[in-house]
């Protein structure tokens, strides 16, 4: 005779499986169903996480993961930053750059790294007399201009620190973490050192008859370009020099009759751009001049030499006159112009947008001249993009970021 449970005896049902009868305690079946639902939700979450990691695989590394875990509030960003402010409580004024989704701030006392909400990841003693700072998506580079100290850090730790034998003139880091350092000479007019992404010295150049003003490393990590002043008897000749790390001797040089090259940059396609007081010149990786843009007696107020194809200049008839932003390609061809009713102090470029710090306002424009955002400059000293959708206004003790859509 089959057993028929009721509500009072603690059993829910009887199921027949061929010749076997299974009796389930009350509530077990519903609890099993809930367990399966939980496993299913967990599986869905894991799949979503894997899809997120795959979509952002180029940006996922240990440092970014630690930054994420260090934040108290974890959310999903839609790419448009809200307005906010980060203040740096330091004993002296410093230099600040955008680093990942936050800032790196260097003073004579310390290096501070935060996210855009002020979450502090690192606070390291520095002790540089004149700190200069730069950053890419991997590292922060700090060096003592006119001193000997140089440091590379990520969000949480110092990865490399050294003191050069002679005072540092300039230092740059490419997107892959390769570093080129120009120092004064000891028995030489200048020395140049190149370090790879593991901070091993891979190349060295000593100059007996040339002053080196600036240097840059190519995006493929295989070459460097130098801005030099060559002493030929009583004459000083401005030059751009090019070296491949696969050989010791110079690959090529281009000489100029005009003023020295104040900055040299190697584009992603290998084109070498040299900035002069009179304009910009472009040279192929083979050493042939391929384009120029001349300022035509206008004054250069500020500029942005990007890794991409665009070069931007704010030029005016006078030092404090209203500026015109000129965007030209690596060949020197003018692609866009934007007229301003103020003079430029600093500028940055990102994906078809230009941010300008002027004497009267901070503003962001599209390259066709559409105003995207503006505010009063107050005590600002610099301006940068944090991605395409946010502009960061930098002063000596704080950063203010503004979403521009």
Residue 257 has pLDDT above 90, yes or no: no
Domain of 260, in residue numbers: 105-344
For residue 69, being part of any structural domain is answered with no
The model's pLDDT over 259-281, given as tens digits with 9 standing for 90+, comes to: 899 999 999 999 999 999 999 99
The model's pLDDT over 301-345, given as tens digits with 9 standing for 90+, comes to: 999 987 677 899 999 999 999 999 999 988 889 999 999 999 999
For residue 249, being part of any structural domain is answered with yes
Residue 94: per-residue pLDDT: 76
Position 12 confidence tier, pLDDT thresholds 50, 70, 90: very low
Longest dimension (CA), the chain: 120
Position 396 confidence tier, pLDDT thresholds 50, 70, 90: confident
Residue 175: per-residue pLDDT: 93
Claim to verify: residue 174 and residue 314 sit in the same structural domain: yes
Claim to verify: residue 28 and residue 113 sit in the same structural domain: no
Claim to verify: residue 44 and residue 172 sit in the same structural domain: no
Residue 10 has pLDDT above 50, yes or no: no
Q: Which has more pLDDT, 136 or 83?
A: 136
- Output the six-digit token pair for 207: 């100059």
Residue 245: per-residue pLDDT: 97
Confidence (pTM): 0.80
**Nearest C-alpha neighbor of 300 from the set 273, 327, 318, 287:** 318
Choose the final residue of a domain: 300, 322, 344. Answer: 344
DSSP letter at 202? E
For residue 314, being part of any structural domain is answered with yes
For residue 78, being part of any structural domain is answered with no
Choose the final residue of a domain: 24, 40, 55. Answer: 55
DSSP 248-273: SS--EEEE-SSSPPSEEEE-TTS-EE
Lowest mean pLDDT among 57-71, 251-265, 312-326, 349-363: 57-71
Claim to verify: residue 45 and residue 162 sit in the same structural domain: no
Residue 32 has pLDDT above 60, yes or no: yes
Average pLDDT of span 121-146? 94
Residue 307: per-residue pLDDT: 63
| Residues with Cβ within 8 Å of residue 308, at least 6 apart in sequence | 267, 268
Average pLDDT of span 203-213? 95
Position 8 confidence tier, pLDDT thresholds 50, 70, 90: very low
For residue 359, being part of any structural domain is answered with no
What CATH number does residue 198 fall under? 2.130.10.10
Residue 146: per-residue pLDDT: 95
Could you tell me what percent of the chain has a pLDDT over 90?
62
Residue 72: per-residue pLDDT: 45
Claim to verify: residue 299 and residue 240 sit in the same structural domain: yes
Residue 309: per-residue pLDDT: 75
Please state, rounded to an integer, the average pLDDT across all residues of the chain: 86
Look at the chain and report how many structural domains it folds into.
Answer: 2
The model's pLDDT over 65-80, given as tens digits with 9 standing for 90+, comes to: 555 555 544 343 333 3
Claim to verify: residue 40 and residue 112 sit in the same structural domain: no
For residue 97, being part of any structural domain is answered with no
Residue 22 has pLDDT above 60, yes or no: no
| Residues with Cβ within 8 Å of residue 323, at least 6 apart in sequence | 301, 314, 315, 316, 340, 342, 343, 344, 356, 358
Residue 82: per-residue pLDDT: 56
Residue 80: per-residue pLDDT: 38
For residue 266, being part of any structural domain is answered with yes
Q: Answer whether 199's CB lies under 8 Å from 186's CB.
A: no
Element (H, E) at 35: helix 28-55
Residue with tokens 């997107």: 175
Residue 60: per-residue pLDDT: 55
66 burial via Cβ count (<10 Å: 0-12, 13-18, 19+): middle
For residue 65, being part of any structural domain is answered with no
> How big is the chain by its Cα radius of gyration, in Å?
29
Claim to verify: residue 326 and residue 266 sit in the same structural domain: yes
Choose the final residue of a domain: 294, 319, 344. Answer: 344
Claim to verify: residue 229 and residue 319 sit in the same structural domain: yes
Claim to verify: residue 131 and residue 232 sit in the same structural domain: yes
Residue 28: per-residue pLDDT: 61
Claim to verify: residue 253 and residue 335 sit in the same structural domain: yes
Claim to verify: residue 46 and residue 169 sit in the same structural domain: no
Claim to verify: residue 137 and residue 221 sit in the same structural domain: yes
């Amino acid at each position: 005779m089959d057993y028929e449970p009721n509500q009072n005896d603690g059993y829910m049902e009887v199921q027949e499986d061929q010749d076997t009868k299974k009796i389930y305690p009350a509530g077990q079946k519903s609890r099993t169903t809930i367990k399966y639902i939980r496993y299913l939700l967990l599986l869905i979450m894991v799949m979503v996480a894997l899809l997120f990691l795959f979509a952002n695989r180029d940006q996922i590394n240990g440092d970014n993961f630690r930054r994420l875990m260090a934040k108290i509030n974890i959310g999903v960003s839609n790419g448009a930053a809200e307005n906010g402010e980060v203040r740096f409580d330091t004993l002296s004024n410093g230099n600040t750059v955008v680093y990942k989704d936050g800032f790196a701030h260097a003073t004579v006392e310390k290096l501070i790294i935060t996210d855009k909400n002020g979450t502090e990841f690192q606070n390291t003693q520095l002790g540089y007399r004149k700190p200069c700072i730069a950053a890419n998506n991997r590292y922060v580079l700090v060096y003592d201009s006119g001193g000997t100290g140089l440091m590379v850090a990520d969000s949480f730790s110092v990865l490399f620190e050294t003191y050069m034998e002679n005072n540092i003139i300039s230092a740059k880091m490419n997107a892959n973490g390769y570093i080129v350092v120009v120092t004064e000479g000891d028995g030489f007019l200048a020395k140049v050192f190149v370090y790879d992404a593991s901070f091993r010295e891979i190349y060295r150049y000593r100059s007996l008859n040339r002053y080196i003003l600036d240097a840059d490393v190519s995006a493929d990590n295989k070459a460097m370009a130098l801005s030099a002043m060559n002493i030929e008897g009583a004459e000083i000749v401005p030059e751009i020099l090019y070296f491949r790390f696969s050989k010791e001797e110079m690959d090529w040089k281009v000489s100029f009759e005009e003023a020295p090259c104040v900055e040299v940059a190697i584009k992603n396609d290998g084109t070498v751009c040299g900035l002069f007081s009179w304009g910009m010149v472009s040279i192929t990786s083979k050493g042939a001049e391929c384009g120029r843009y001349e300022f035509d007696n206008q004054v250069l107020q500020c500029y942005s030499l990007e890794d991409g194809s665009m070069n931007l200049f704010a030029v005016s008839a006078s030092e404090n006159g209203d500026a015109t932003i000129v965007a030209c390609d690596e060949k020197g061809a003018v692609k866009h112009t934007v007229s301003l009713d103020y003079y430029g102090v600093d500028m940055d470029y990102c994906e078809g947008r230009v941010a300008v710090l002027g004497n009267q306002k901070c503003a962001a424009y599209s390259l066709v001249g559409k105003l995207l955002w503006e505010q009063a400059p107050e005590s600002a000293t610099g301006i940068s993009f944090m991605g395409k959708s946010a502009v960061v206004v930098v002063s000596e003790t704080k950063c203010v970021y503004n979403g521009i859509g």
